[in-house]
C-alpha cells in the first residue's frame, strides 16, 4: 500500500443507519456551536474588556486560552478515549463543551474566564476528529470528503449566522448571554447526536498506544505541517480584516459584519464544491487550493481600496478554507489504524495556523508595511504550505516506486 492510499479498505461497507443526512446534520450542529463560540469571541472583546474591567489587549488573551485548549485537548482526549464507542465519546465531548461555555458566561473575574475558555477549547479538536470519522464511515469511500465537508458546513455557517447572532445578543443584553446561547446549542447537539448517531461498539483493538502510533508516520507530520503553515495565510488576513475595512477601504463600522459574512459564504461554498474534486484526486486538490490561496492573497493588497473588489477577494479567500476538509481526509488516509488521533490533530494544526498567521501579519503591520501587508504575508505562508505539499507528494512517489520494485 502506498502512503497515499486509503488506510481503510475501500471495499469496507459503510455503517448502515436509517438517515445518513440526519447523522451528519447532528454533527454539523455541534460544528455550528463550536464555530459560534470560537469566532464570536473575537467580535466581543470590547464587551469582555468593559464588563471585566480590563483593557482590550488583556481581554484578547481569552482567544489564546481557547486556542491553547484546542491544541492540548485534541491529542490528549482522543488518546485517553481510544476505547470508548464513538457516539459516547461525542456526547462526552459536547457535554464538556456545554458546561464550560456556560461557566464562561458566569465568570466572576478575568482569571476565571481564562480558565473556562481554556477548558472550553479542550473538546474542540477531538469533536471534529471523531465526528469526521463517524461521517466518513456512513458513506462509500469515494464520498468521504463530501461527508466530512458537509459536517464542516456547521462551522462555516457559524461565521454567517451564529457569529452575528451571538454578537447581537452580546450587544443587546450582555456578553454573558452569548455564551448561554452557545451552551443551548451544545444541549441541542447532544440531543441530536444521541437520537441519530449510530451506537456502534468500540473497536476491540483500539488503545491509547495504537493511537500514539500516528506520531510515528512521517506523512501525518507532513500533512499537519501543510495545515499549520499553508492555512496561516487565511488567518493573517481574517484577523485584521475589520481594521483594513475601516482604515483602508474607509467603510463604516456597520458594514464590517457584512464583509465578514461574505467571507463565511465563501468558506461555505468552498466546502460544498471542493470535496467533489477531492474525492477524485485528494492531494491534487490540496495543491490546487494552496496555489489558489497563494495567488488570491497576493492580489488582496491591490483590491483593498474599493469595497466591491475587496468583497470579491475576501469571498475567494474564504473558498480556500476548504483546505481544512481536504486535509482532514488526507490525515485519515495516512494514519493507518491510528485514525482518531490523526483526525483530531488536524484542528491543533489549524489553531497553530491561527496563531502563526496573525502573529506574522501583525509584525508586518508593526514594521510599517501597511494594513494590507498581511496579504503578502499570507501569500508567503501559502507558498510554504505548497512547498511541504511537494515534499509530501515526492515521499508518496518514492513509496510507490519501492512497492513496485518489491512486486517485480
Q: What is the pLDDT of residues 87-144, one digit of tens each?
A: 999 999 999 999 999 999 998 888 899 999 999 999 998 898 889 888 888 888 788 8
Residue 240: partners with Cβ closer than 8 Å, 6 or more residues away: 358, 361, 362, 365, 371, 374
Same domain, 144 and 287: no
Domain end marker among 146, 174, 206: 206
The number of domains in the chain is 2
Domain end marker among 206, 241, 258: 206
Residue 345: partners with Cβ closer than 8 Å, 6 or more residues away: 74, 75, 125, 129, 214, 220, 224, 331
Q: Is residue 350 in some structural domain? A: yes
Q: Is residue 301 in some structural domain? A: yes
Same domain, 146 and 22: yes
Same domain, 168 and 150: yes
Same domain, 253 and 393: yes
Same domain, 193 and 268: no
Same domain, 111 and 195: yes
Q: Could you give the 3-state DSSP secondary structure of residue 231?
A: coil
Quickly list DSSP for 131-146.
Answer: HHHHHHHTS-GGGHHH
User: Are 261 and 164 within 8 A, CB to CB?
Assistant: yes
Q: Is residue 10 in some structural domain? A: no
Report in angstroms the alpha-carbon separations of 1 from 309, 392, 403, 404: 47, 16, 7, 10
Separation between Cα atoms, residue 232 and residue 237, nearest integer Å? 9
Domain end marker among 206, 236, 268: 206
Same domain, 189 and 61: yes
Same domain, 33 and 20: yes
Half-sphere exposure of 97 (CA within 13 A, CB side): 37
Separation between Cα atoms, residue 17 and residue 15, nearest integer Å? 6
Instruction: Give the pLDDT of residue 6.
Output: 40
Instruction: Give the pLDDT of residue 48.
Output: 75
Instruction: Give the pLDDT of residue 2.
Output: 37
Residue 316's Cα: distance from chain center in Å? 18
Residue 291 phi/psi, 5° resolution?
-65, -45
Instruction: Give the pLDDT of residue 4.
Output: 38
Same domain, 171 and 267: no
Q: Could you report the average pLDDT of every consecutive run of 10 residues in the chain (408 residues)?
A: 41 64 92 88 72 72 82 85 87 96 91 92 90 86 84 87 82 87 95 89 68 79 93 85 84 77 89 90 94 96 92 94 89 77 81 83 87 92 96 87 69
Q: Is residue 369 in some structural domain? A: yes
Q: Where are the alpha helices (DSSP H) in 138-240?
A: 144-157, 163-173, 175-196, 208-212, 218-230, 232-239
Separation between Cα atoms, residue 276 and residue 143, nearest integer Å? 8
User: Helices 339-366 & 232-239, crossing angle to 10 degrees?
Assistant: 50
Instruction: Give the pLDDT of residue 277.
Output: 92
Question: What's the longest Cα–Cα distance across the chain?
Answer: 72
Q: Is residue 135 in some structural domain? A: yes
Q: Could you give the 3-state DSSP secondary structure of residue 53?
A: coil
Q: Is residue 140 in some structural domain? A: yes
Quickly list DSSP for 5-19.
Answer: S-SS-TTSPPPP-S-
Instruction: Give the pLDDT of residue 367.
Output: 87
Question: Which residues form the domain of 387?
Answer: 207-408
Residue 360: partners with Cβ closer than 8 Å, 6 or more residues away: 232, 236, 374, 377, 381
Same domain, 167 and 262: no
What CATH number is attached to the domain comprising 381?
Answer: 1.20.1250.20
Separation between Cα atoms, residue 335 and residue 220, nearest integer Å? 6
Q: Is residue 5 in some structural domain? A: no
Q: Is residue 9 in some structural domain? A: no
Same domain, 21 and 144: yes
Same domain, 243 and 116: no
pTM, entire model: 0.80
Separation between Cα atoms, residue 7 and residue 339, nearest integer Å? 9
Amino acid at each position: 500500500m502506498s502512503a497515499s492510499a486509503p488506510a481503510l479498505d475501500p471495499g469496507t461497507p459503510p455503517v448502515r443507519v436509517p438517515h445518513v443526512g440526519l447523522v451528519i446534520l447532528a454533527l454539523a450542529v455541534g460544528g455550528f456551536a463550536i464555530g459560534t463560540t470560537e469566532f464570536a469571541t473575537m467580535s466581543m472583546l470590547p464587551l469582555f474588556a468593559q464588563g471585566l474591567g480590563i483593557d482590550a489587549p488583556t481581554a484578547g488573551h481569552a482567544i489564546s486560552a481557547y486556542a491553547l485548549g484546542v491544541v492540548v485537548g485534541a491529542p490528549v482526549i482522543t488518546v485517553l478515549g481510544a476505547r470508548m464507542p464513538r457516539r459516547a465519546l461525542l456526547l462526552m465531548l459536547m457535554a464538556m463543551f456545554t458546561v464550560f461555555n456556560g461557566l464562561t458566561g458566569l465568570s466572576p473575574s478575568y482569571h476565571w474566564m481564562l480558565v473556562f475558555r481554556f477548558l472550553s477549547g479542550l473538546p474542540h479538536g477531538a469533536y471534529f476528529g471523531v465526528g469526521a470519522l463517524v461521517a466518513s464511515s456512513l458513506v462509500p469511500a469515494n464520498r468521504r470528503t463530501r461527508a466530512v465537508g458537509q459536517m464542516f458546513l456547521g462551522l462555516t455557517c457559524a461565521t454567517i449566522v451564529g457569529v452575528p447572532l451571538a454578537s447581537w445578543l452580546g450587544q443587546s443584553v450582555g456578553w454573558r448571554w452569548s455564551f448561554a446561547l452557545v451552551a443551548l446549542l451544545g444541549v441541542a447537539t447532544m440531543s441530536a447526536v444521541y437520537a441519530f448517531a449510530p451506537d456502534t461498539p468500540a473497536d476491540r483493538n483500539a488503545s491509547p498506544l495504537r493511537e500514539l502510533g500516528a506520531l510515528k508516520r512521517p506523512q501525518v507530520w507532513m500533512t499537519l505541517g501543510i495545515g499549520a503553515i499553508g492555512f496561516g495565510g487565511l488567518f493573517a488576513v481574517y484577523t485584521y480584516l475589520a481594521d483594513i475595512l475601516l482604515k483602508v477601504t474607509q467603510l463604516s463600522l456597520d458594514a464590517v459584519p457584512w464583509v465578514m459574512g461574505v467571507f463565511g459564504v465563501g468558506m461555505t461554498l468552498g466546502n460544498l464544491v471542493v470535496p467533489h474534486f477531492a474525492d477524485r484526486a485528494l492531494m491534487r486538490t490540496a495543491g490546487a487550493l494552496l496555489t489558489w490561496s497563494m495567488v488570491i492573497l497576493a492580489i488582496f493588497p491591490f483590491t483593498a481600496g474599493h469595497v466591491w473588489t475587496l468583497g470579491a477577494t475576501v469571498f475567494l479567500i474564504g473558498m480556500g478554507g476548504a483546505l481544512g476538509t481536504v486535509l482532514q481526509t488526507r490525515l485519515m488516509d495516512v494514519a493507518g489504524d491510528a485514525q482518531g488521533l490523526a483526525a483530531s490533530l488536524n484542528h491543533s494544526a489549524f489553531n497553530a495556523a491561527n496563531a502563526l498567521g496573525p502573529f506574522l501579519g501583525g509584525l508586518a503591520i508593526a514594521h510599517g508595511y501597511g494594513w494590507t501587508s498581511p496579504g503578502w504575508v499570507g501569500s508567503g505562508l501559502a507558498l510554504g504550505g505548497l512547498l511541504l505539499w511537494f515534499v509530501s507528494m515526492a515521499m508518496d512517489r518514492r513509496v510507490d516506486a519501492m512497492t513496485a520494485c518489491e512486486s517485480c
